[in-house]
Every structure is written in C-alpha cells, then in structure tokens.
Amino acid sequence: MSVKTNLLVGGRNADTRVHEDIWMVGKSCPAIDVGAASVLLYITDHDTGAFPNGSRGRERADRLRPARMVRPWMAEHAKAQRSEEAMTDPATATVVPTAGGDAVRVELHGHVLLVTINRPDARNAVNTQVTLGIGEALDYAEDQTDVWVVIVTGAGEKAFCAGQDLKQAAAGVHLDDPRVERWGFAGFVRHAISKPVIAAVNGFALGGGTEIVLASDLAVAVDTASFGLPEVKRGIYAGAGGAFRLGRQIPVKIAMEAILTGEPISAQRASELGLVNRVVPAGELLDAAFELAGRVMANAPVAVQASKRIARGITNGAVVAEQPDWERSQVEGKNVITSADAQEGMRAFAEKRVPRWQGK
C-alpha cells in the first residue's frame, strides 16, 4: 500500500494526536501560514483515500499509538522556502568584482557565493582570467564570515569546464602572479578553503573539469554530464590532481581504467560510484545545488568549517598530505610534456587525425 501525508489545520483545542512515526519532509508539505493553529498529520491509502484500518473518517483516538504534538511550524517553513527562492534570484544577488572580469561571474546570494565560469563559447575553458576570477572568489569566500557555502558552475548548457584553454597555452600565455602556485589550476584545485564547495556540473566536465569536481566537497550534475581524464589520448597527463585524486574518491580499479584509457564516465555512473552526490534534469541543477547548500547551512558555520578542515586534512590553507603527490606530479609532468609523444598528440589534435605514437 502506498501512503500519502495529509494535513488538518485546527485551533489549539483541536485533536492533535498524530502517528509518532510520521515526519514532515521538505517541500512535500505546502507552504501554508497557519499562525497559531495546530497541525495534524494522518495517513491514507494513496489510491482509495481510506485509512489503513479501513475507515474513511478520522481515525479514532483509541486506535492511535501514543502521539506527540506537531507544533505550528508551517509559517516558518514558508518563510524558509521564500528565502531559498530569493537566494537564486539575480535581482537580490550582490555582485562581487574580481580580476576575472566577464570570464567569471561572482554573486553573493544570501550566505551562498555563486561562482560561474562564463565562457560558454569556449566551452568554459580555463584561461588566465578564469584562474584569477575563481582564485579571488575563493579568497573572498574564506575571508568573509557571511559566506557559508560556495557553488561553482559553468555558463550555458553544454560544458561545465573543458579544461585548459589550449589556444592560450599554445601561445605561451601564463600568469606571473605568486598566488597562482598556491591556488593551482583554475585558481581552484589546490585552493583549500574552510567553506564547503559544491560543484554544480551543467555539462561535460572532462580533464580539468573533472579535476575541479574532484577538488570540490560535494557535487550535483545534470543527467547529460560526463566526466573523465582524456589527457592520455593527447599524449599528456592529468596534472591538476586527477591522477592521484580519482582513485581516492571512486574504486581504484575503476579509476585506473578511466585514467589509463581516457574514456568518459556518464553522470549516472558517476553517481553510482560516488563521484557526484546526485543527478538531476538540466532545469533543476541550480535548485538542487542551492537545496544542498541549504541543508549544509542549517548547521553551525564554525562547526561545519572545522569539520571540513579535519575531514580534508587542511592546515593553514593547504592539504599537507597531498604535498608529495603534487611534487611527484610535477616531476613526471616535466618528462611527459617534453616527450615526442606529447608533441605528436598535440599536433594530431590540431590536425584532427589519429596520433602516431613512438613511445618516446
């Protein structure tokens, strides 16, 4: 038998008995301002409207188990729902300027800092402006006590982040900014802050996009998203943490398959493996991310931030245990990038042909 919850609203003297094992859960309850009224829950058969005991009227008090008063919390629920809706309203957001300019939008919605990579025509690839914009946004979040959660997403419907901007990299453009080494790729992957970070993955997240997800604390993805580390297909490697983080967040054999083959992982598979917390339709992505942020923000910010630092091993803005991994990655990277295969991989990619590997 499927069941549904129903509401009876009455005065303070109304019968307030209620099954003690029935819970009001989130938005399944209408946002009604009932003032000082008492709220009574009862259950009925979803199809017939009958009570489990066969009656259609209200269940007699002597058939109920010991009950508890459900206090009039609906007005507060309605207030919370209105607050959640306001958080995603651009009209109520505060714009936070960064050196990223138009390449990164940073908006404060209540206690949530929404950071959007805004290069949809370039598949939200990471260039110098994106690096500065995200890096400064995370510094802002860490410094401001009224920022409790950060959400990172991409503009458009196709790509969350396509990784490094290869055109800019090929041109030899780089940032001469001491903060970049501390921040890592995209101003993000080594940028350990105390505030929880949610990745809202709005499309494919290959290479650097997956590495941003791996560096996040939580992740929500659209059902069309895909993840993976395809660098080996281009003769290079996942140098922004993917090579050592993926196997710590999903089963090792599955991670090694993804790393060594460069093949993608679907959103549904990523959810099954625990790489993302949930998968939603495209139109529900930011709502789901803000809902998850709201669940985090229901708790004490100082306790949440301390818990994150402990869980992630963050000391003085760095994950100390990962330092040997970064050093190893840099050493290996120098050998890979200067190899003949790396040069061939990039040429083949530019010429849209199958690479001819030499193993050297």
| Catalytic member of 107, 231, 291, 322 | 231
- DSSP of 172-228, one letter per residue? T-----HHHHHH-GGGTTT---SS-EEEEE-SBEETHHHHHHHHSSEEEEETT-EEE
Task: Answer for the pair 277, 292: CB distance below 8 angstroms, yes or no.
Answer: yes
Dihedral sign from CA coordinates of 43, 46, 51, 57 = positive
Task: Compute the half-sphere exposure of residue 253: CA atoms within 13 Å on the CB side of its CA.
Answer: 0
CA distance linking residue 229 with residue 275, whole number of Å:
13
Of 19, 138, 87, whose CA–CA distance to 288 is shortest? 87
Would you state the structure tokens that stand for residue 86, as one six-digit string?
């306001």
CA distance linking residue 203 with residue 260, whole number of Å:
23
Of 52, 32, 36, 42, whose CA–CA distance to 5 is shortest? 42
Task: Assess whether 351 carries a catalytic annotation.
Answer: no
Task: Answer for the pair 235, 343: CB distance below 8 angstroms, yes or no.
Answer: yes
Task: Compute the half-sphere exposure of residue 225: CA atoms within 13 Å on the CB side of its CA.
Answer: 36
Task: Assess whether 211 carries a catalytic annotation.
Answer: yes
Q: What angle do CA 14, 16, 17 make, to 5 degrees?
A: 140
Of 128, 133, 126, 131, whose CA–CA distance to 100 is shortest? 133
| Catalytic member of 107, 136, 211, 322 | 211
Catalytic residues: 211, 231
